[in-house]
């Protein structure tokens, strides 16, 4: 198959699907590109782009069935027409040159075509360069993703350390509050016991006070034990996470 020149025999821009009237008319036009006309790859690619724009992905399946073109060829030709409108096609390069670079990012596509023009590359040469560019680009993107992940991990670790420091600070503060509250309660009971303020309290009244003090102490201990149990359970969840 002779490689076509970059200038197409017939250009049907993707937005002009109505030119064919119906989908059947479009298929008929595609079949007319068979044989010698199919060598004009730009015309075939533009025909695909027109059908895709007008009737979507299903039209590509119908085009493959009607023309015998493989799904891979359909995909590559459609992509080439789509990313290279007439105004961006290099007259000094063939359709195949454009197709080899079509799947690269836009900036890399244009740079590769510039180099191909300047160096008068063959299709094999631009294919090799495109594969290398694709590999390098993938490696660069992967490296950028790794750097971003490392930054995110570092930030997460810093946040975790900061959270840990804040949690420790709060725990120490709460422990001081509990210790001080318990100390004040003990001071109160000791003061009642040692000051003689209750010397005139006898019998049932004295026993009731003692019972109330004991119950208060037990209630405080129960609350502390509940809090300790919750802290232990939460600590275990943190360790298992």
pLDDT in tens, 215-232: 877 877 787 788 778 878
Question: What's the pLDDT score for residue 166?
Answer: 82
In a domain, 59, yes or no: yes
- The proportion of the chain whose per-residue pLDDT surpasses 90, expressed as a percent, equals 30
Residue among 209, 203, 207, 218 at smallest CA distance from 189:
209
Question: What's the pLDDT score for residue 147?
Answer: 83
Number of Cβ within 10 Å of residue 108's Cβ equals 16
142 pLDDT tier (thresholds 50, 70, 90): confident
In a domain, 55, yes or no: yes
Q: Tokens 């007259």 correspond to what residue?
A: 91
In a domain, 220, yes or no: no
Domain hosting residue 27, numbered range: 14-95
Residue scoring higher pLDDT (108 or 21): 108
| Cα atoms in the 13 Å half-sphere on the side-chain side of 162 | 6
Is 70 a residue whose pLDDT tops 60? yes
Residue 241 and residue 239: Cα distance in Å, rounded? 6
In a domain, 117, yes or no: no
| Residues 41/7, Cβ–Cβ less than 8 Å | no
> What pTM did the predictor assign?
0.51
Q: How many domains does the chain have?
A: 1
In a domain, 155, yes or no: no
In a domain, 29, yes or no: yes
Residue scoring higher pLDDT (99 or 202): 99
Residue scoring higher pLDDT (20 or 95): 95
201 pLDDT tier (thresholds 50, 70, 90): low
> CB under 8 Å to 163, separation ≥6 — which residues?
none
Residue among 42, 110, 113 at smallest CA distance from 82:
42
Is 5 a residue whose pLDDT tops 60? no
Is 186 a residue whose pLDDT tops 70? yes
Question: What's the pLDDT score for residue 112?
Answer: 93
> CB under 8 Å to 93, separation ≥6 — which residues?
6, 113, 116, 117
């Amino acid at each position: 198959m002779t490689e076509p020149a970059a200038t197409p025999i017939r250009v049907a821009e993707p937005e002009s699907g109505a030119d064919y009237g119906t989908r059947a008319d479009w298929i008929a036009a595609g079949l007319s590109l068979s044989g010698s006309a199919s060598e004009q790859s730009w015309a075939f690619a533009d025909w695909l782009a027109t059908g895709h724009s007008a009737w979507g992905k299903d039209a590509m399946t119908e085009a493959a069935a009607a023309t015998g073109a493989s799904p891979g060829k359909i995909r590559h030709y459609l992509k080439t027409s789509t990313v290279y409108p007439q105004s961006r096609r290099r007259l000094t390069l063939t359709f195949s040159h454009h197709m080899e670079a079509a799947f690269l990012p836009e900036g890399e596509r244009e740079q590769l075509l510039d180099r191909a023009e300047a160096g008068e590359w063959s299709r094999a040469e631009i294919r090799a360069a495109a594969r290398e560019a694709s590999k390098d680009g993938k490696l660069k993107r992967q490296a950028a993703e790794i750097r971003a992940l490392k930054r995110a991990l570092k930030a997460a670790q810093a946040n975790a350390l900061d959270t840990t420091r804040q949690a420790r600070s709060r725990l120490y503060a709460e422990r001081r509050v509990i210790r001080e509250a318990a100390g004040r309660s003990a001071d109160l009971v000791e003061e009642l016991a040692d000051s003689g303020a209750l010397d005139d309290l006898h019998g049932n009244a004295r026993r009731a006070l003692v019972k109330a003090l004991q119950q208060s102490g037990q209630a405080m201990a129960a609350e502390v034990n509940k809090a300790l149990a919750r802290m232990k359970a939460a600590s275990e969840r943190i360790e298992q996470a």
